[in-house]
Every structure is written in structure tokens, then in C-alpha cells.
Amino acid sequence: MPGPLQISGSVSIPEAELRWRFSRSSGPGGQGVNTTDSRVELSFDLAATEALPPALKTRALERLASRLTGGVVTIAASEFRSQLRNREAAEMRLALLLREAVAPPPKKRRPTKPSRGAVERRITAKKHRSDLKRLRRDI
């Protein structure tokens, strides 16, 4: 867990750029929920980071614009009773979010048209169905 957060093979976020905040969690935990700070908030300042190359940073800022608050993306995790497991969950979610945000755009679709044989088969099937329905009608 300590150390840089690995986003992809060549991109990682230094631990110094990650900010952690802990608070009491709601949900399962019984009496311990009132005394332990098991809820985790992981914040990463995407706008000010030097860990991402400029092109990836711009792409991530565009794709995550709706999730950013002042250039900072925040992940909250409170599904586990243990703070350690919540920290791991928050790190995994942030890594996944950033991995998807910096991924290259998908290739553009090349428009195609159906082959002549496919068009003929479709029309033949339509005529066959039409004939069946026509033969069922009362005269």
C-alpha cells in the first residue's frame, strides 16, 4: 500500500500527491463503528499534478470534469469495517478511474454497407414471410 499508486505501466502517482482523510463510518460495525475512523476519503489534485504527462492530464481533466471539485477528484470508501481495507478499496477505485480517464479514445468506426447477397437474403425472407401471412388470410 505505501508507495506510488500505479495507474498503468509507465504512469504512477507519487504518494506525496495523495491526501487521505479518515472519519467515522456509518453502516455495519456494531459498537466499534462509534469509535474507529474507518471511513476513508482519498483526494488527488488532478489539475496541479506533475505525475501525468500534459496530454494525459488534459484528457483526464476533460473526461472527469463532472467529478472534479476545484481540480480535485475525491474517492470515498466505507464499505468495509477495517480502515486498511477501505484504504485499499479507495486506492483501487482511484487507479481504475484514472486508468479509464487517460485511456486513448476508441478507434473511429468505419461505416460499411451490407453486401448484395445479404440484401437479397433479407428481401427473400421478407417476401417469404409476406406470402405465409397472405395465405393465412380469409378470401
- The one-digit pLDDT tens for each residue of the chain (139 residues) are 667 888 877 888 888 888 999 888 776 656 665 667 788 999 999 888 888 888 989 999 999 999 888 889 999 998 888 889 999 999 999 999 999 998 888 999 999 999 999 999 999 999 999 999 999 998 7
Identify the pLDDT of residue 3. 74
Residue 86 has which C-alpha cell? Answer: 477501505
Cell triple for residue 14?
507519487
Domain count, the chain: 1
Let me know if residue 59 belongs to a domain.
yes
Domain assignment of residue 69, given as a range: 5-102
Could you tell me if residue 86 is inside a domain? yes
Specify if 107 maps to a domain. Answer: no
pLDDT of amino acid 11: 83
Stretch (H or E) spanning 12: strand 12-13
| Terminal CA-CA length for the chain | 79
* Residue 108 burial (CB count, 10 A): 6
Q: Is residue 108 part of a domain?
A: no
Q: What is the CATH number of the domain that holds 83?
A: 3.30.160.20
Question: What's the confidence (pLDDT) of residue 80?
Answer: 84
Cβ atoms of 73 and 36 within 8 Å: the answer is no
Q: What is the pLDDT of residue 24?
A: 81
Report yes or no on 132 lying in a domain: no
Residue 69 lies in a domain: yes
